[in-house]
Amino acid sequence: MSEATTDRSARETPALGQVERVERPRRPSAGQNALVFGWRAVLKFVHVPEQLFDLITTPIMFTLLFTFVFGGALAGTPQDYLQFFLPGILVQTVTFNAVYSGMGLSTDLEKGLFDRFRSLPIWPLAPFAGLMVGDILRHLIAGLIILTIGLVLGYRPEAGVPGVVAAFSLLIVIALGFGWIFLVLGLLVRTPMTVMTLGFSFLFPLVFASNVMVQPDTMPGWLQTIVAVNPVSLITTAMRGLMAGSASWGDLALALIAPAVLTVTLAPVVLALYRRR
Amino acid sequence: MTDAAPTPAIEARGLRKSFGGVEAVAGIDLIVPRGAIFAVLGPNGAGKTTMMRMLATLATPDAGRATIMGHDLSADPQGVRAAIAMTGQFASLDEDLTGRENLVMLSLLWGFGWRGARRRATELLAAFDLADAGGKRVKDYSGGMRRRLDIAASLVVTPGVLFLDEPTTGLDPGARQKVWRIIRGLARSGVTILLTTQYLEEADQLAERIAVIDRGRKIAEGTSRELKAAIGSGMLHLTLADPAVLDQASALLAARLGESVQRSPEGGKLSVPARSSAAAAAALTALSEAGIEVADFSLGSPSLEEVFFALTHDETREATA
């Protein structure tokens, strides 16, 4: 080894790279690992608060436009329409947000960050658990902002605080269910922009061909059939029920079918794709 | 590991990996002794990164087996992961976080508590000349700082084996010197280092042993000196006064010395193995008799570049020393 080249600059920082040997501490639990990734998600909020802007601009615009432009025509008065629309716009917000978490994953993979995580002796699913912690935070923040705007505009949940808490709990379960689709996309597709394009071209028809914006009575028969079985419709119905205090156990069960099926089928796919990369 | 070690740091046999019918790694054996700096040298697309990713548990080999610090790659991947660290070609850092936060995050993942993780981050930032940049987001780091942070991130717990995939690609000369010093420092503290590089100078400067890889196969292995010796004891380097007569001079030298001539037409430079100074002198005389003027000449050991050229362009030559 030639030392001649190093001696010249050795004076400034004689200890560059000279680290003492450090042994591994006691092996952390899977839960501890997952919490670290959750902490990472929180830090990202602190450093990049702009990302919230992306999340809430569309739903705020939708709320205002639909309420004041179409609301009167659709429901008689903007006030009546807002009462109908707000639970639906919450569903739209969290499903659209799931696209952003797929983009985040795709970005991490593109940057090689997950290679580092995968070469660490940690619980293999911890990074995904951490993503979900971040997602839950995102959904809660976006949902609360939309709800606040709704309350300011005159929306009143008949079931009060317990109804809202129940509705938000359902919302998060549903969002996590849909999240799997975008984790798979994030793992399969190399570029974050493609994840977004694919995600929205799938979600737009799914959200519009539902009862989020309007009751399907005036739609053609074939479309009414689609709307009736569209998971987004089932979820929106349950949300409306919870916030109005009129939800049945049946409504809830129907709303939970899609998230449950997605979790059971896609979680193993995510794990397999992650391991195979 | 200062004690007498029973197994090599890395022992790989017949590693293979194909992507869509193309063999990226076509059967590679590798033995890296503990505490060594070992360089894997090869052009882009030679299979260096794929081989390293397999050894770091990031890709599953199609065939072959390997042990890293005594842990079997397929039977005990978590054991391997606990004994290694890898710094990939692209900075594996979270760009939205600060340098310090990145190191704290990794320390926490390794199992340090809050206090321990913070202390570890401070130590690493100081050791890598990043103390002032710890609070800046990685996004705003220069290429050299990023690379240093990336290597620091691999040292939260001192690994048995550190994999460095093209550690200085894209760095300016000053930053490259710093990374070289880091690598030498780590080797002195007992970390086995496997690095890939396409820079011959880098392998020459750093590594005790070098494996040359081309098209998924190992075509030579040895110390820098052994590799150079494998293509002949001496090398005659010539610069012609008039580059236009390059073909003529090249043909003459090939006939005279009975060796293939390496040529770089840009500067009218020629290199050819010469067995003795007498043979070299005779060749120079022949050139001057043919009216070819030589501007500059020297007789010396071949550069690693010439070795590499000879190995990759002359498949019949076997240079395992």
Distance CA B313, CA B148 (A): 35
| Closest-CA residue to B205 (of B223, B188, B190) | B223
Residue of B85, B155, B178 with shortest CB distance to A16? B178
Do B51 and B25 meet the contact criterion of CB atoms below 8 Å apart? yes
Is there a domain that residue B264 lies in? yes
Residues from chain A that touch B97, judged by Cβ atoms under 8 A, are 40, 43-44, 47
Range of the domain at B217: 10-228
Regarding whether B196 and B139 lie in a shared domain, the answer is yes
Touching check for A120 and chain B: CB below 8 Å? Answer: yes
Residue with tokens 């030559």: B317
Regarding whether B217 and B243 lie in a shared domain, the answer is no
Residue of B123, B128, B205 with shortest CB distance to A17? B128
Distance CA B17, CA B52 (A): 11
**Total residue count of chain B as it appears in this document:** 321
Domain count, chain B: 2
Touching check for B62 and chain A: CB below 8 Å? Answer: no
Do B289 and B190 meet the contact criterion of CB atoms below 8 Å apart? no
> What pLDDT shows up at residue B268?
81
- Nearest-CA residue of chain B relative to A18? B185
Regarding whether B284 and B158 lie in a shared domain, the answer is no
Regarding whether B243 and B197 lie in a shared domain, the answer is no
Is there a domain that residue B240 lies in? yes
CA separation, residue A114 to residues A275, B86, B137, B269 (Å): 11, 12, 19, 46
Distance CA A32, CA A38 (A): 10
Regarding whether B257 and B194 lie in a shared domain, the answer is no
- Nearest-CA residue of chain B relative to A19? B127
* Region of residue A70 (left: phi > 0; alpha: psi -120 to 50; beta: else): alpha
B297: domain CATH number is: 3.30.70.270
Q: Closest Cα of chain B to A44: distance in Å?
A: 6
User: What stretches in chain B show pLDDT beneath 70?
Assistant: 1-6, 231-233, 265, 303-305, 312-321
Regarding whether B278 and B223 lie in a shared domain, the answer is no
Is there a domain that residue B102 lies in? yes
Q: Which residues pair with B298 in a beta bridge?
A: B237
Is there a domain that residue B259 lies in? yes
Distance CA B230, CA B318 (A): 8
Average pLDDT over residues A63-77: 90
Amino acid type, A30: A
Distance CA B147, CA A184 (A): 30
> What pLDDT shows up at residue B231?
63
Distance CA A228, CA A239 (A): 15
Question: What are the backbone dihedrals phi and psi of residue A218, each rounded to the nearest 5 degrees, phi first?
Answer: -95, 5
Regarding whether B84 and B207 lie in a shared domain, the answer is yes
The CA-CA-CA angle for residues B213, B217, B220, to 5°, reads: 55
Regarding whether B219 and B258 lie in a shared domain, the answer is no
Extents of the domains making up chain A? 30-276
Regarding whether B121 and B216 lie in a shared domain, the answer is yes
Q: Is B110 within 8 Å of A120 when comparing Cβ atoms?
A: yes
Residues from chain A that touch B2, judged by Cβ atoms under 8 A, are none
Which of B68, B78, B110, B164 to substitute to test the interface with A, most A CBs within 10 Å? B110
The CA-CA-CA angle for residues A169, A175, A178, to 5°, reads: 145
Distance CA A96, CA A90 (A): 10
Is there a domain that residue B53 lies in? yes
The CA-CA-CA angle for residues A64, A69, A74, to 5°, reads: 110
pLDDT at A3 over 80: no
Distance CA A82, CA A88 (A): 10
Regarding whether B124 and B220 lie in a shared domain, the answer is yes
Q: Which band of pLDDT confidence, cut at 50, 70 and 90, is reported for residue A17?
A: low
Residue with tokens 């620091």: B152
Which of A22, A108, A117 to substitute to test the interface with B, most B CBs within 10 Å? A22
> What pLDDT shows up at residue B4?
52
Mean pLDDT check: name the lowest of A76-85, A89-98, A181-190, B309-318: B309-318
Per residue in A194-218, pLDDT (tens digit) is 888 888 888 889 888 899 888 888 8
> What pLDDT shows up at residue B307?
73
> What pLDDT shows up at residue A187?
87
Touching check for B129 and chain A: CB below 8 Å? Answer: yes
Regarding whether B162 and B56 lie in a shared domain, the answer is yes
ipTM score over 0.85, yes or no: no
Q: Which band of pLDDT confidence, cut at 50, 70 and 90, is reported for residue A137?
A: confident
Q: Which residues pair with B297 in a beta bridge?
A: B238
CA separation, residue B269 to residues B132, B162, B236, B244, B310 (Å): 47, 39, 11, 11, 16
> What pLDDT shows up at residue B313?
63
Touching check for B175 and chain A: CB below 8 Å? Answer: no
Touching check for A18 and chain B: CB below 8 Å? Answer: yes
Q: Closest Cα of chain B to A198: distance in Å?
A: 25
B147: domain CATH number is: 3.40.50.300
Residue of A2, A24, A36 with shortest CB distance to B157? A24
Distance CA B287, CA B256 (A): 10
